């Protein structure tokens, strides 16, 4: 298992790195080259930079991810592709994307985009809170543990 983070705007990179380190799971941060930094390298964490194109990070993650890998993203399109490939996909607000909820999420995104194109104002995402952070951390730990148990035949 590897964890891929759609990392340009992810507020949970540090949580992912911290928890992944506990379980010795490699983390791959995929970022636009426009977010390049000379941050100190962290053991177990690889940073991949991609072109600045709109979906460049998404395409790179899908190129690299394999079945049962974990993807962290707020992008519903990437989440849908990840699910189709057999990956586990989490949103930083603390919910898992599933085959049961992805169609509704994509439909909502489509309707909001359509409304904006017609001139309507739509609400942006709510601010990321400490409660969201706590919820995400719990979900990430649960998801990793469940996946590890499944691989060890404990489930």
Position with higher pLDDT, 87 vs 37: 87
Q: What is 3-99+128-151's CATH number?
A: 3.40.50
Residue 71, both tokens? 């993807």
| Extents of the domains making up the chain | 3-99+128-151
d(CA 55, CA 107): 19
Which pLDDT tens digit goes with each residue over 70-103? 999 999 999 999 999 999 999 999 999 998 988 8
At 6 the pLDDT is: 95
Q: How confident is the model at residue 52 (pLDDT cuts 50, 70, 90)?
A: confident
pLDDT of residue 154: 65
Q: What was the pLDDT predicted at 105?
A: 83
- Strand positions, DSSP E, 24-131: 27-32, 45-50, 70-72, 88-91, 95-97
Bridge pairing between strands 88-91 and 95-97: antiparallel
Check whether 141 has a pLDDT greater than 60.
Answer: yes
Is the pLDDT score of 55 beyond 90? no
Count of C-beta atoms within a 10 Å radius of residue 60: 19
Using pLDDT thresholds of 50, 70 and 90, give the confidence band for residue 155: low
C-alpha distances out from residue 94 to 24, 74, 128, 136, 142, Å: 22, 10, 11, 4, 11
Q: Please give the Cα distance from 74 to 86 (Å, whole number).
A: 18
Mean pLDDT score, 58-66:
96
**Cα angle 76-7-78, degrees, rounded to a multiple of 5:** 20
Q: What is the mean pLDDT of residues 5-14?
A: 92
């Amino acid at each position: 298992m590897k964890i891929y983070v759609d990392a340009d705007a992810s507020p949970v990179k540090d949580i992912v790195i911290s928890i992944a380190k506990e379980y010795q799971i490699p983390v791959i941060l995929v970022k636009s080259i426009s977010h390049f930094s000379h941050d100190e390298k962290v053991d177990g964490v690889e940073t991949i930079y991609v072109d600045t194109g709109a979906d460049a990070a998404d395409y790179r993650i899908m190129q690299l991810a394999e079945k049962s890998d974990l993807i962290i993203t707020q992008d519903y399109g990437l989440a849908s592709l990840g699910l189709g490939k057999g990956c586990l996909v989490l949103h930083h607000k603390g919910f898992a994307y599933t085959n049961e909820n992805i169609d509704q999420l994509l439909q909502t995104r489509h309707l909001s985009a359509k409304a904006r194109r017609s001139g309507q104002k739509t609400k942006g995402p709510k601010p990321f809170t400490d409660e969201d952070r706590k919820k995400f951390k719990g979900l990430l730990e649960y998801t990793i543990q469940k996946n590890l148990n499944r691989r060890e035949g404990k489930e």
